[in-house]
Amino acid sequence: MQPWASLSGSYGPSTWKAEPLSQVLQALQTTQGQLSLLTKRLSMLREEHEALCDCLAFHGAVPAERLLAWMHRRRFAEARRRHPVACHETLESLMQAKELALDLAVRLGLEVCTTLSRLGRS
């Protein structure tokens, strides 16, 4: 029995009309065209952005490292805004929970855990 057979009326591929299907296809083609234009515009904006960054760095107005740091801070602030954390614990106090520390050690490896430990104390 077809899933739509229990519904009142007769529904299914054999009852679809060509006109609504052509409207869906037309909408899909329009959307694909818009997506193509947006993709091209994004590529142009990316190229302009890279050229401006290169120009600023070349003329010494903003060193590349400082620009990258600004971008990182902006992205980090946006991530914190989208995903707020209500934890007031320090990394060191969290790592004192043995189960968490062991799980992190297994998943991240000794080298990363050593680095985290040093960072937690600084």
Higher pLDDT, 58 or 117: 58
Does position 87 have pLDDT exceeding 80, yes or no? no
Which pLDDT score, from 0 to 100, does residue 45 have?
97
Backbone Cα Rg of the chain: 27
8: left (phi over 0), alpha (psi -120 to 50) or beta: beta
pLDDT band at 102 (very low <50, low <70, confident <90, very high): confident
Which pLDDT score, from 0 to 100, does residue 76 have?
92
Which residue type occupies 121?
R
Spatial distance between the Cα atoms of 60 and 53, rounded to a whole number of angstroms: 11
Which pLDDT score, from 0 to 100, does residue 78 have?
95
pLDDT band at 92 (very low <50, low <70, confident <90, very high): confident
pLDDT tens digits, residue range 31-80? 999 999 999 999 999 999 999 999 998 999 998 889 889 999 999 999 98
- Phi then psi dihedrals of residue 10, to 5 deg: -115, 115
Which pLDDT score, from 0 to 100, does residue 10 have?
53
Helix (H), strand (E), coil (C) string for 5-69: HHCCCCCCHHHCCHHHHHHHHHHHHHHHHHHHHHHHHHHHHHHHHHHHHHHHHHCCCCCHHHHHH
Per the CB < 8 A criterion, the answer to whether 43 and 50 are in contact is no
pTM check: above 0.75: no
